[in-house]
Structure formats: structure tokens, C-alpha cells
Structure 1
Amino acid sequence: MANPPPSSSSFPHSTHSSHSTNGIDKSRAPVVAVPLLQPRVAVALGVPKRWHHTLSACRLLSIAPPICWGLRFALRFLVADLLRLSTQGRHGRDISPYTLRLTETGLAIIWCCASAYLAFFFTDCLMSRWLINYTPQATVVRLFTISCAFAYLTSWTVYLTAGSQDPGLLLPAWIGIATILTTCYHFTQRKIKIRKETFASVSVFSIASFLSMVALLLHSHSTRVGYQNIPLVAVVKWACKVAGHIVVRILGVTMDLDGL
């Protein structure tokens, strides 16, 4: 008598493997729609909604130091130098020292924004790890603590480098801060393969470095004799002059330079 054909229950491993290879398990995974300001990991882990806003607020605290000790000083230097540059240009005086200050101030703004981006990514990755291993209460305490530590160290770095007094000193201060943030991020995440965040942190640092190199090269060539004869330079100077007048009008800054 012939044996009956084996049933599907006799080969549970082959059945599951065929499903996994066909991608059925992946298709059954629920797609979580998360608003931009809510932490995605908290939603995926089922953290109660009452903690979402608190976690988001503590995560956003990481960008406060670049705004308070970076962008605030840089914008003040930028407006002051634009006014000085406009006044010196109308009187026919040498404006080369102010163009260098404008270049340094613009690069300082770029590195402050890069530092804010890196700090947010670093804090977001730490929050993801802490939510997996700790309760939401403990995660909030850790996020608030690391944001306070970052603010304290940032304020002392800018103070010790005298970055609040000169844009030429503010730029290296924020380059150093961005370098430290990138190093700390890769050091803490070296055991976890998060390609997206790692690629983003490297891209931000690389883009800021490239823009700094291009800006310094442009300034170096602009000080040479004969660059005024290049049509592109004339167009860029005209565009910068128009942009400067627009910025001054939007900010409502007067031309009184006595307090600068």
C-alpha cells in the first residue's frame, strides 16, 4: 500500500522559509505613520502618547546651544559688517578687511547650522537606544541632562576662544564643536549599524568643509589684482550688494554706526 503524501505540517521550516523568501512577512509588517515632530521610535515601541511631546521637546533642546552661542553672535557680526562695508564703499575706502570678516561670519553660520544638525541626530540616536533599554521617565532625564551638558560645554568653548568678540574666532570655535560632535556620534554608534544616520552626519560635515574651502579660495583670489575684470565677479558683487540692502531693510537697521 502506497504511503500518503506528506502534509504541509511535516515541513514547518520549509513553509516558513518559503514565506520569508517571498517577502510575505515584510508585507505583513504594519506601516507606522508618524508626524514630523513626534519621535518615530517612541511610536514604534508603543510608548504612551503623553510622553511624545515631552520627548520631542527634550530632543529639540539639543539645537539651543548653536542658536544661543552661535547664530546669535554670527548674525550680529553680519549686520554690523554689512553696515560698515556699505559706509566704507560710499567713501571710497578699502573694504578688503570687511570682506574677510563677512566670509568668516558666513562660514560661522554654516558651521553653526551643521553643529545643530549633528547635535539633533546625536541626541535622536541616543534617545532611540535609551527608549529600548529604559523607561520614558529615565529617557527624559537623560535627554535633559545631555542637553544641559552640551549647552555648558558650548558656552565655555565659545568663551575660551573669544568667539563672541570676533567672527574670525567664532568660526574655528564652531568647527571644533562640529568635529567633536561628529567624533562623539561615531564613537557611541560604532557598535550599531545605522547607515542612514551615519551617512547623514558624514555628509553634513563634508558639505560644510567643502563650502569653507570654496569660500576661502574665493576670498583669496578676490584679493589679487585683476579679478575685477572677470564678468562673473561683477555680477556676484552686484547680487551681494542688492541682497545686503534687502537684509538691512528687512531687519530695519539704521545706518547709525556709532554703537558698532
Structure 2
Amino acid sequence: MNKFIIALPIITLLALGGILYYKNSNNYLESSLTIPNDLTIYNFAQCYQNLPAITDSCKNSDAYNQAATNFNNLTSTQSDKPNSACVNYSQYFQTAFASQPLNKNNYFADCYLNDQALAIAKSNQCFYDKYFAPFYLQCTKSSAPSSSSSSSSSDSSKPKNNLTTVTFTQYAQCLQTLQYDLQPCQTSDAYYSAVSQFTDLTYPDSVKVTSDCKNYYSYLKVAHSDDLVNKNNYYQSCFLSSKVQSIAQSNDCFKTYYYNPIYTTCLGN
């Protein structure tokens, strides 16, 4: 049986995914779009978290909302009939590292940039200009930054503060430096059991997700990149609760190679 190994994007992209702000622009041509092979999931997240909020009144129109609904129905795996390419992308994303290519096997492009998705986007000028183009065109045409090999999380990359003062930007910068080499112990049944228990309590789509984690994910929907990760104690109540820490303590491999680096070290603890 394949072992499900928790990967960085589950937290990184959830942390950054709740910080979407969209830039006004009219001149992104999908016909010239080529997603660079070296554009990583993290590069993409860095771009979209800096897009400003849509303030134009056109976003409140029925036409905009209809386009947004149609686009979501096509691309979201939570819809009744998502595009099969989007299912492929979602499955890849859930187990990929932040350092892996955004468009591996062309999953991303096949999902969000196919003819049907483009037709929906273009059905309303406001939706296309204010949301679709900045997010799916601008941020996928951005060149990946020149590689700076950071194979481990050095002290200089860790937040110079503690859980009460770390922002999402500082947190993401630390996460980017973490090294994720698969350890032999991460294929064990004990590690897999800890992973399963952890995701049951903390992953937003889990039927067992705690109310504290639901509060945290609700906060992410409105948070900015310079906001505190642990505002109103949401993060701590979700990921650092006694029940979650008990799960981490149950398996040294899970605690050492996943839980501690992401959920304690990068929060300055």
C-alpha cells in the first residue's frame, strides 16, 4: 500500500492561499502564455499573495458572480462535475512540495487554462480583468527567481521572534528554507498512522477537523501577508493543541522530520 507522506503545500498553500489579493490590469494575453518549467508552487504563491484586493464595484454584478460560479464549477474539486484535469492537479498538489513545478505534467494549464476555462473567464470582462488574468496569467508568466540553494533551515532564516509576532510572510520565508529529504522512517506504519491522525484533526476537508482549525481557516480567507499567523490564538489552538502535540509525540519520525520544523521551528518556538 502506498504510504501517504504529508507534504509542505498542505500548510504553505493553505497559509498563503487565504491571502489572495488581485491586481487591476487589462493586458495579459493568454495566447502568449508559457508557464516556465522552473516556476514552482512557492513562486506562484509568492506572486498571488501580493496581488491587491479587487475594489471595483463591477465585482458585485450578477454577471461577475455568474462567471465566478461557472469557473468554480469547472475547476473546483468540491463541485459536482469538476474538470478531470483539475482532479489530476488537486491530487498532485496535495502531495507535492512547495519547491516542485507548478505545472508538472501540464496539470495546472490543463485545468485552469483550457479552452472552456478561458471562455468562462472571458464571458465577463470584470472577472477576466480583475481576477482571472492577474491570478492565472500574470502569476504564471512570472519568472522564477534565480536559484539560491538553501538546503537547510539556517538560524538566519528563522523568525527572530516568537509565535505571538510571526507574520505570514515571515512564516513562508522560513518554510521555503526547509529541506524535505525523505527519511526511511517516513515509510513506516507508525509514521503513516501519525500522519493520518494529524490530518484528521487539522486538514480543512476532513470530517473530523476541529472547530479551532475551522476558525483558523476562516481567518485565512481574510488575512493579509503581513498579518499575524497566530491572531486571536487561532493557529495555536489548531496546530499546537494538546491533542495534536500528543499525536506528534507518538512518533519520533513524524515529530522530527515534519511536525517540529513546520509547526514549531518556523514559528520561532
Q: TM-score, normalised by structure 2?
A: 0.30
Question: In proportion to residue count, which structure has more helix?
Answer: 1
Q: RCO higher in 1 or 2 (8 Å CA, sep ≥ 6)?
A: 2
Q: TM-score, normalised by structure 1?
A: 0.31
Q: Which has the greater radius of gyration?
A: 1
